[in-house]
Amino acid sequence: MNIDTQEILRYLGYRGKQADAAVMQSIDDCIDELLKHVTPRSEQQLFDVAFHGQGEVSIGKILVNSKDLAQHISGCKQAVLFAATLGVQADILLQRWSKLDMSRAVILQACAAAVIEAYCDEREEQISADAAKNGLFLRPRYSPGYGDFSIAHQQDMLAVLNCGKRMGLTITDSFMLVPTKSVTAVIGLTTEKTSCHIHKCMDCTAVNCPFRKG
């Protein structure tokens, strides 16, 4: 996996600032610990896409009322429903270090976020390679919670992908993923060649998001 250290520093608030050697060493140690203990897993399925006007779009049997998602995958006739997780071991490590050393826990949290993103990028490259065989290209993955794409749709996606049985990924009554270092997303497939689908901020409306790239 190509884990972006600069992304970790961005999560930690080092925007335009230089982290000292101790922080950089702690980041390296946390990445090593995560890669030693976690076992990332993912599930994905391809579905037909249909648009119904007024921001309604269906992906397979899931009907979503989201103008932002509809705009993001406009022109796509198919989309991949995608889910990935680092597994429960990441949560165990985070809980352990939060009791032993909160500073380490904060850095581990940022590293875990970067590791799950790197894993998603890796899996997305494979999806892209498979799509290319059919002359299709990927739109950047778009997750529930972006813009007006309700986080509640994570429940629908996990059910369709059978994530609970296949990789132990479940959801709480408040629609939070368990294990926590997990991702769900829609990846539109289009015949139009677009710019790189990896490492792009989503076209959401959160203009004040601290992680939004310039």
DSSP code at position 209: -
Start-end of H helices in 52-177: 67-72, 88-100, 102-132, 153-161, 163-167
Do the beta carbons of residue 47 and residue 60 sit within 8 Å?
yes
From CA 163, how far away is CA 170, in angstroms rounded?
7
Give the total residue count for the chain: 214
Do the beta carbons of residue 91 and residue 180 sit within 8 Å?
yes
* Burial class of residue 61 (count of CB atoms within 10 Å of its CB; 0-12, 13-18, 19+): exposed
Q: pLDDT digit string (tens) for 17-39?
A: 788 999 999 999 999 999 999 99
pLDDT bucket at 54, cuts 50 / 70 / 90: confident
The gap between the terminal CA atoms of the chain, to the nearest Å, is 25
Asked whether residue 202 carries a pLDDT value surpassing 90, the answer given is no
From CA 119, how far away is CA 142, in angstroms rounded?
16
Pick the closest to residue 82 from 132, 11, 130 (CA basis): 130
From CA 159, how far away is CA 57, in angstroms rounded?
18
Q: pLDDT digit string (tens) for 112-145?
A: 999 999 999 999 999 999 999 999 999 999 999 9
Q: Would you state the pLDDT for residue 72?
A: 93
Pick the closest to residue 204 from 142, 151, 157, 152 (CA basis): 142
Average pLDDT estimate for 146-166? 96
Q: Would you state the pLDDT for residue 18?
A: 85
Average pLDDT estimate for 150-165? 96
Structural domains of the chain ordered from first start: 5-190 (3.40.109.40)
What percent of the chain clears pLDDT 90, i.e. is strictly above it? 84
pLDDT bucket at 208, cuts 50 / 70 / 90: very low
Q: Would you state the pLDDT for residue 23?
A: 95
Average pLDDT estimate for 59-86? 95
pTM of the model: 0.89
